[in-house]
A = this chain, B = another copy of it.
Amino acid sequence: MPDAIPVLRSAKPGAEASAERPAYDLIELFFFAYRDFVSDPDRILDEYGFGRAHHRVLHFVDRQPGLTIAELLDILRITKQSLNRVLKELIEKRFIESRMGTSDRRQRLLHVTPQGHDLALKLAKLQTRRIARALTDLDSAAKESVTRYLLSLIDPDDRSHVERLVFGSAKV
């Protein structure tokens, strides 16, 4: 019986804009999905004595060979002291190499070692498997919807920066 009665869809008429019903579904699904999404790599990272912070550093250095410390700090939004703690371990354990900059010798250009690349790829594939499984339920247009949704959740100031980082150097 569709539209038998014109139901008061958005609560009382007196309710103003601030009375919009919270999007509990998307808020909570985001929480649970992210929780499980990051939990996959944890088991493997444990074997190496690494944590999630190491994963993030390794991931972005693998993706952007030659990344500088300043650029990495900008991506991760943490302090250099926090970064240095985990980066030092990744270098000591030979997962990342730090080379002096060529044009500017104050910079450190970060690169993964073959061992570092293997681990980064292993972790990325784990997460890709979960993503692929989730996408099989959906049609091809849906993937673009998801991509655009996630991108739009990002702070507007950062969005183009992230776009370049994620989709490559191609000017968007």
Contact A34 B30 (CB under 8 A): yes
Kindly state the interface size class of chain A when it binds its partner: 35 or more
Q: Does A3 contact B (CB under 8 A)?
A: no
Q: Does A121 contact B (CB under 8 A)?
A: yes
A115 → chain B, closest Cβ, in Å? 18
What are 29 sample pairs from A and B whose C-beta atoms fall under 8 A apart? A20-B132, A22-B121, A22-B127, A23-B124, A23-B127, A26-B131, A27-B59, A27-B124, A27-B131, A28-B162, A29-B147, A29-B151, A32-B150, A33-B153, A36-B158, A133-B152, A134-B149, A134-B153, A137-B148, A137-B149, A138-B145, A138-B148, A138-B149, A142-B142, A142-B145, A142-B148, A142-B149, A145-B145, A146-B149
